[in-house]
């Protein structure tokens, strides 16, 4: 599944809690932008909750393609990560990480009990979340001589673009973010300049 359509994500991180037969399932849901961010969050949580029995999680992340993954962290296969991921899908969210931290209470819950516990814990965090709609963007690199800056800046305004960064070396390089489907328009505007201005869509 590509990221060419709007999707919903969380505005802020949220927390939930579920208890069953002495075990405590602390859930945390986060808006995320990258797998590197996921790794950092998980690393910090494992340090903070070093005495927990399990730190299970799932995420859904929009990139060029949709990436979804769950992790059981030592629980029986598909009893933790999968029910957490199903809750993310049930709420219709992307760019979201949900982590459920389990403190074992001494009584085994069985496969069905674990599935229900992780499902409910994830739900407790997600149902408290404020949701926003994200309009996917495209990114371009524009390479141009300094003498053409005025033309290009006018084009950027016309396509509702946002300049993310500028590299002022021998040529002027601009990293640009725009709404979808602006590539043809930008390249049409370059044609009269005979290849002096280059537009590259970044994946």
Check whether 2 has a pLDDT greater than 70. no
Check whether 123 has a pLDDT greater than 80. yes
Q: What integer is the mean pLDDT of 154-173?
A: 82
CATH class, range 136-202: alpha beta
> Hey, is 88 helix, strand or coil?
helix
- Quick one: pLDDT at residue 1? 38
Half-sphere exposure of 94 (CA within 13 A, CB side): 20
DSSP code for 193 = G
- Quick one: pLDDT at residue 16? 96
Per cent of the chain over pLDDT 70 is 97
CA distance 89 to 139: 27
- Quick one: pLDDT at residue 64? 63
Check whether 190 has a pLDDT greater than 90. no
Q: Domain locations in the chain?
A: 7-133, 136-202
Between 139 and 59, residue with greater pLDDT: 59
- Quick one: pLDDT at residue 82? 97
CATH class, range 7-133: alpha beta
> Hey, is 155 helix, strand or coil?
helix
């Amino acid at each position: 599944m590509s990221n060419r359509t709007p999707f919903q994500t969380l505005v802020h991180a949220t927390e939930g809690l579920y208890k069953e037969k002495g075990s405590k399932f602390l859930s945390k849901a986060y808006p995320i932008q990258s797998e590197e961010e996921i790794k950092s969050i998980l690393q910090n949580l494992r340090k903070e909750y070093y005495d927990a029995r399990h730190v299970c999680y799932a995420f859904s992340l929009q990139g060029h393609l949709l990436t979804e993954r769950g992790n059981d962290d030592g629980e029986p296969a598909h009893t933790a990560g999968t029910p957490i991921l199903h809750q993310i899908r049930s709420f219709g969210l992307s760019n979201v990480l949900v982590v459920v931290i389990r403190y074992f209470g001494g009584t085994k819950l069985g496969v069905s009990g674990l599935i229900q516990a992780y499902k409910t814990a994830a739900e407790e965090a997600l149902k408290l979340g404020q949701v926003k709609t994200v309009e996917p963007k495209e990114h371009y690199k524009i390479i141009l001589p300094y003498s053409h800056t005025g033309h290009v800046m006018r084009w950027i305004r016309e396509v509702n673009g946002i300049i993310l960064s500028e590299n002022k070396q021998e040529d002027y390089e601009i990293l640009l973010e725009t709404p979808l489907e602006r590539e043809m328009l930008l390249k049409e505007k370059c044609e009269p300049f005979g290849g002096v201005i280059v537009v590259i869509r970044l994946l």
